[in-house]
């Protein structure tokens, strides 16, 4: 009899034009290679995901259904798929992993269609869970397994045991070089994943390091990885880049590391590897790191074909940055922008507007800062989010290894956090997660930010919108000019109409 296989599923998270390779599933697949038969199903490409998952389960016996789930728009499709599979195959274990279940494990496991939550890095946890499942036995409504003792040793696992929720201790992070290379072939045809962007016609993605060693108080990454980073070596980065370029025809590369330049010394070999690869590239970076690089390093960056760098500039005042424990200052943002201009790199500056202390004042200061940065480097891109901090872990969670968030509410006056996946799908929660809304902002402030974003986006249409014709760009710029210079942002209906008509892209919705 065939060995039971594992179905790795990416529920739909984005539109077809934002589709990228599901790296989390490829990473899990790499760990399963040669050990467990598996299939990857991607809801971003497959409009009939539920039917096809049920079809795959009918074709061959399965050991588990494993879903990757990001907070926000991916939760509802994850619920729909899991519930459909639970109804058709009540004895099949269902596992959720990724950002949503790691940050909100209590809510994720509080569902009749989730048996196991894997928190944090998934490769080893999934392998250990699969090894334990034959002894653990099938799930029931009150318990993840007939004998939950079988899974007590799996670090990073949350499960149900006689109606109670158990959190096994966290799992230490393994460095990426110890993990196997990604099995790109398992996605079948890679063409739909290699998307046109302003850098090339076939943009590939890669994540080198794992985690981030900073602990900015608003950021989900800090809770997800508990303030740790494990770097990838230059050899592995170059090997992955070459495979994507030479075997699959990638002509540009987007690096998904939370913070690509960890330290100057460790960044240099990576920059050399990218120079050897010879593809235009994009990455996330901190303003203080970019500002502190030597001129020699900047020259190397220029030679390596770095095209755009996404910087969390966040806000306009050092006090607010300090409150966020960002570890950088406004001057670093200016210096990073100056350096980018000098070396032909476009900075993509992200701001989170309207923190709970003096939201109106912070918003106006940030608008003024953005205009000064635009004057310094008109090509810089600006991404505007509303400040909606991801709940952080409880103090002391690091030592106990417990994953629970410290905030029970979204911000000081915010509502209590949802307790089920369903509640997380409500519009207001999806809006908080996507930084489109925050509990303490009133209608007037929300509108003010939306209006400014429209004027700014039309005055400086994003270079990332490869499909916008030059005449459309010129039209938007002309129409938006007077509002931008005069500061009359209120109700720019004419701009919205033209932007909608031209289907202007908003990078904050879909990334590159
Ligand atoms: C690609 C991406 C997207 C893509 C997804 C495309 C796709 N392929 O499906 C798109 C553009 C749609 C997207 C959207 C959003 N994203 Co996003 N995204 C990312 C990004 C850049 C890379 C994810 C990735 O591939 N990582 C590499 C893999 C290998 O790592 P991983 O996902 O963590 O997987 C490991 C573990 O998590 C675990 N694991 C994961 N899944 C599973 C499943 C199982 C069963 C198991 C056992 C383990 C497991 O094991 C894996 C291997 O160790 C991350 C940043 C990052 N570097 O991770 C942000 C990130 C995940 N996104 C984030 C957010 C918030 C969003 C949005 C919800 C909001 C926004 N405005 O950005 C939007 C939603 C908008 C929408 N329309 O859906 C945040 C999440 C933080 C948080 N607070 O929750 C991140 C961290 C960015 C950030 N710094 O804020 N995103
Ligand atoms: S904001 Fe950036 S630097 Fe800070 S914890 Fe998050 S990923 Fe790391």
Q: How far is the CA of 162 from the centre of ligand 1 (A)?
A: 32
Question: Considering only CA atoms, which residue is closest to atom 21 of ligand 1?
Answer: 256
At residue 412, the pLDDT reads: 64
Give the separation between CA 386 and CA 205, rounded to whole angstroms.
Answer: 27
CATH class of 194-407: alpha beta
At residue 401, the pLDDT reads: 54
At residue 504, the pLDDT reads: 76
Q: pLDDT by residue (tens digit) across 436-476?
A: 888 878 899 999 999 999 999 999 998 888 778 889 999 99
By percentage, how much of the chain surpasses pLDDT 70? 95
pLDDT at 253 over 90: yes
Q: Which residues contact 459 (CB under 8 A, 6 or more apart)?
A: 476, 477, 480, 481, 483, 484
CB distance 286 to ligand 2 below 6 Å: yes
Q: 3-state class of 158 per DSSP?
A: strand
CB distance 219 to ligand 2 below 6 Å: yes
Average pLDDT score, the chain:
93
List the chain domain ranges: 5-167, 194-407, 442-512
CB distance 101 to ligand 1 below 6 Å: no
Angle at 123 between CA 93 and CA 202, to 5 degrees: 110
pLDDT at 403 over 60: no
Q: pLDDT by residue (tens digit) across 365-384?
A: 999 999 999 999 999 999 99
Q: How far is CA 406 from CA 223, 233, 327, 490, in A?
A: 10, 34, 21, 38
Quickly list H helices, 324-461.
330-342, 359-376, 397-400, 421-424, 427-433, 443-459
Domains 5-167 and 194-407 alike in fold: no
Q: pLDDT by residue (tens digit) across 106-135?
A: 999 999 999 999 999 999 999 999 999 999
Ligand minimally distant from the alpha carbon of residue 385 = 1
What ligand 1 atom has the least distance to the C-alpha of 28?
A: 52
At residue 441, the pLDDT reads: 84
Q: How far is the CA of 21 from the centre of ligand 2 (A)?
A: 23
Question: Considering only CA atoms, which residue is closest to atom 7 of ligand 2?
Answer: 258
At residue 129, the pLDDT reads: 98
Cβ-in-10-Å burial (0-12, 13-18, 19+) of 294 comes to exposed
Q: Which residues contact 450 (CB under 8 A, 6 or more apart)?
A: none
The pLDDT-based confidence of 251 (bands split at 50, 70, 90) is very high
What ligand 2 atom has the least distance to the C-alpha of 212?
A: 8
At residue 221, the pLDDT reads: 93
What ligand 1 atom has the least distance to the C-alpha of 21?
A: 8
CB distance 214 to ligand 2 below 6 Å: yes
What is the average pLDDT across 62-90? 98
CB distance 157 to ligand 1 below 6 Å: no
pLDDT at 49 over 70: yes
The pLDDT-based confidence of 2 (bands split at 50, 70, 90) is low
What is the average pLDDT across 420-427? 97
Q: Is domain 5-167 annotated with CATH 3.40.50.10490?
A: no
Ligand 1, residues 26, 63, 99: which to mutate, most atoms within 8 A of Cβ?
A: 99
CB distance 29 to ligand 1 below 6 Å: no
Q: In what order do the strands lie in the sheet with 157-161?
A: 38-42, 5-10, 62-68, 94-97, 116-118, 157-161, 164-167
pLDDT at 321 over 60: yes
Q: How far is CA 440 from CA 43, 228, 382, 412, in A?
A: 34, 31, 23, 9
At residue 371, the pLDDT reads: 97
> Which tokens in the block code for residue 458?
């039309």
Task: Compare 40 and 414 and report the one with higher pLDDT.
Answer: 40
């Amino acid at each position: 009899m065939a060995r039971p296989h594992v179905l790795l599923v990416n529920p739909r998270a984005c539109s077809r034009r934002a589709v990228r390779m599901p790296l989390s599933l490829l990473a899990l697949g790499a760990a399963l290679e040669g050990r467990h038969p598996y299939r990857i199903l991607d809801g971003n490409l497959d409009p009939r995901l539920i039917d096809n998952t049920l079809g795959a389960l009918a074709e061959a016996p399965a050991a588990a259904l494993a879903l990757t789930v990001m907070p926000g728009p991916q939760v509802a499709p994850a619920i729909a798929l899991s519930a459909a599979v639970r109804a058709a195959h009540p004895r099949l274990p269902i596992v959720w992993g990724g950002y949503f279940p790691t940050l909100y494990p209590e809510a994720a496991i509080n569902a009749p269609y989730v048996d196991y939550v894997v928190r944090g890095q998934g490769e080893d946890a999934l392998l250990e869970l699969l090894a334990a499942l034959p002894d653990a036995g099938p799930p029931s409504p009150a318990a993840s397994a007939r004998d939950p003792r079988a899974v007590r040793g799996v670090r990073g696992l949350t499960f149900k045991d006689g109606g109670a929720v158990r959190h096994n201790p966290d799992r230490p992070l393994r460095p990426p070089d110890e993990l196997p290379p990604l099995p790109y072939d398992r996605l079948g045809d890679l063409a739909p994943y290699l998307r046109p962007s302003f850098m090339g016609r076939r943009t590939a993605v890669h994540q080198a390091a794992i985690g981030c060693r900073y602990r900015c108080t608003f950021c989900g990454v800090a809770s997800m990885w508990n303030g740790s980073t494990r770097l990838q070596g230059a050899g592995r980065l170059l090997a992955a880049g070459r495979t994507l370029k030479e075997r699959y025809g990638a002509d540009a590369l987007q690096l998904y590391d939370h913070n690509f330049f960890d330290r100057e010394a460790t960044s240099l070999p990576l920059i050399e590897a990218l120079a050897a690869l010879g593809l235009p590239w994009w990455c996330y970076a901190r303003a203080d790191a970019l500002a502190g690089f030597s001129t020699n390093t900047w020259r190397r960056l220029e030679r390596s074909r770095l095209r755009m760098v996404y910087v969390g500039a966040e806000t306009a005042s050092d006090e607010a940055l300090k409150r966020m424990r960002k570890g950088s200052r406004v001057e670093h943002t200016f210096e990073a922008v100056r350096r980018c201009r000098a070396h032909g790199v476009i900075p993509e500056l992200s701001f989170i507007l309207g923190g709970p202390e003096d939201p109106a004042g912070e918003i106006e200061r940030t608008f003024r800062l953005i205009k000064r940065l635009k004057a310094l480097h008109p090509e810089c891109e600006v991404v505007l989010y509303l400040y909606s901090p991801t709940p952080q872990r409880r103090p002391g969670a690091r030592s106990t290894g417990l994953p629970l968030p410290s905030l029970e509410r979204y911000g000081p006056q915010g509502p209590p956090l949802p307790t089920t996946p369903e509640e997380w799908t409500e519009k207001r929660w999806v809006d908080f997660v996507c930084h489109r809304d925050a509990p303490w902002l009133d209608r007037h402030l929300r509108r003010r930010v939306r209006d400014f974003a429209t004027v700014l986006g039309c005055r400086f249409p994003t270079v990332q919108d490869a499909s916008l014709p030059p005449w459309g760009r010129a039209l938007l710029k002309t129409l938006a000019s007077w509002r931008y210079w005069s500061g009359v942002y209120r109700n720019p209906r004419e701009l919205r109409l033209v932007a909608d008509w031209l289907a202007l892209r908003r990078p904050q919705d879909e990334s590159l």
